[in-house]
């Protein structure tokens, strides 16, 4: 794929940053452990649903040791409404035990170490780093980033890791920290999956997909 001109990328970023200032995750959390757990729970689930259960969950399990010692069936019941609860419980218990055993009870603050945790891939690691530690070692590629990056011509890849690598070559590092959150907001408000509101889009004049034919093909 021919990479978009840097001027175009820069202009799109400038417009979207102005449209969605101070963009941050809508997941509710107070520390790196909580954003790790919330992000695991958010897979195939809305942030709103996750936010419904995490206040009581974090009150019951305030420390990583509490999660590590949680009863599997009890935790499954507590997170059941987020879907895929068995796999998520396995990931939470595995990650918590790994943190206790290998990281002295502290959630790692590097991509290398986060990726050693069960159930943690680059997307989750990037969110923990950016939201929990204010660090950027990459760009989290969720469904919104994947969809919008394709529509804007930032990447023609389908695999999230490959999309991230494309993005890292065209998005200035100073913007890595906020890029995911900006695109998530844009995806929720304007560039929606089934019916993108192109007429209201602030970057429609720079978007190669802002015509009916592209929209039709995108939905197939």
Q: Report DSSP letters for 61-79, one per residue.
A: --SHHHHHT--HHHHHHHT
Q: Read off the pLDDT of each residue in 21-43 and give the average, rounded to a whole number.
A: 95
pLDDT in tens, 45-95: 999 999 999 999 999 999 999 999 999 999 999 999 999 999 999 999 999
Q: Residue 112: which domain range?
A: 32-133
Q: How far apart are CA 119 and CA 67, in angstroms?
A: 14
Choose, from 8, 88, 98, 123, the residue flagged as catalytic. Answer: 123
In a domain, 202, yes or no: yes
The answer as to whether 179 is a domain residue is yes
Q: Are residues 153 and 62 in the same domain?
A: no
36 and 52 in a single domain? The answer is: yes
Residue 1: inside a domain, yes or no?
no
pLDDT at 212: 53
The closest alpha carbon to 50, from 75, 28, 74, belongs to: 28
Asked whether residue 203 falls in the same domain as residue 119, the answer is no
pTM flag (> 0.85): yes
Q: Is residue 65 in some structural domain?
A: yes
On the question of pLDDT at 216 being above 50, the answer is no
Q: What SS3 class is residue 215?
A: helix
Active-site residue 195, yes or no?
Answer: no
Reported as type and span, the H/E element at residue 167 is helix 160-170
Helices vs strands, H then E, count in the chain: 13, 0
Catalytic residue among 88, 142, 166, 178: 142
For the question of residue 60 being annotated catalytic, the response is no
What is the count of structural domains for the chain? 2
Q: Do 36 and 88 contact (CB within 8 A), yes or no?
A: no
């Amino acid at each position: 794929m021919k990479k978009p001109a840097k001027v175009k990328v820069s202009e799109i970023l400038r417009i979207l940053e102005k449209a969605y200032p101070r963009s941050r995750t809508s997941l509710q959390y107070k520390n790196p452990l909580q954003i790790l757990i919330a992000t695991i729970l958010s897979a195939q689930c809305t942030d709103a649903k996750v936010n419904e259960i995490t206040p009581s969950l974090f009150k019951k399990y305030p420390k990583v040791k509490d999660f590590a010692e949680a009863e599997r069936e009890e935790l499954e019941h507590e997170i059941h409404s987020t879907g895929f609860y068995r796999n998520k419980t396995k990931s939470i218990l595995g990650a918590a035990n790994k943190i206790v055993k290998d990281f002295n009870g502290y959630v790692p603050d590097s991509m290398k170490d986060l990726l050693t945790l069960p159930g943690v891939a680059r997307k989750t690691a990037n969110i923990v780093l950016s939201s929990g530690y204010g660090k950027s070692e990459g760009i989290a590629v969720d469904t919104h980033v994947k969809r919008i990056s394709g529509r804007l011509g930032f990447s023609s890849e389908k695999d999230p890791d490959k999309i991230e690598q494309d993005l890292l070559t065209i998005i200035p590092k100073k913007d890595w920290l906020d890029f995911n959150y900006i695109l998530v907001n844009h995806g929720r408000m304007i560039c929606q999956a089934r019916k993108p509101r192109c007429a209201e889009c602030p970057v429609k004049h720079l978007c190669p997909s802002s015509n009916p034919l592209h929209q039709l093909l995108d939905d197939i």
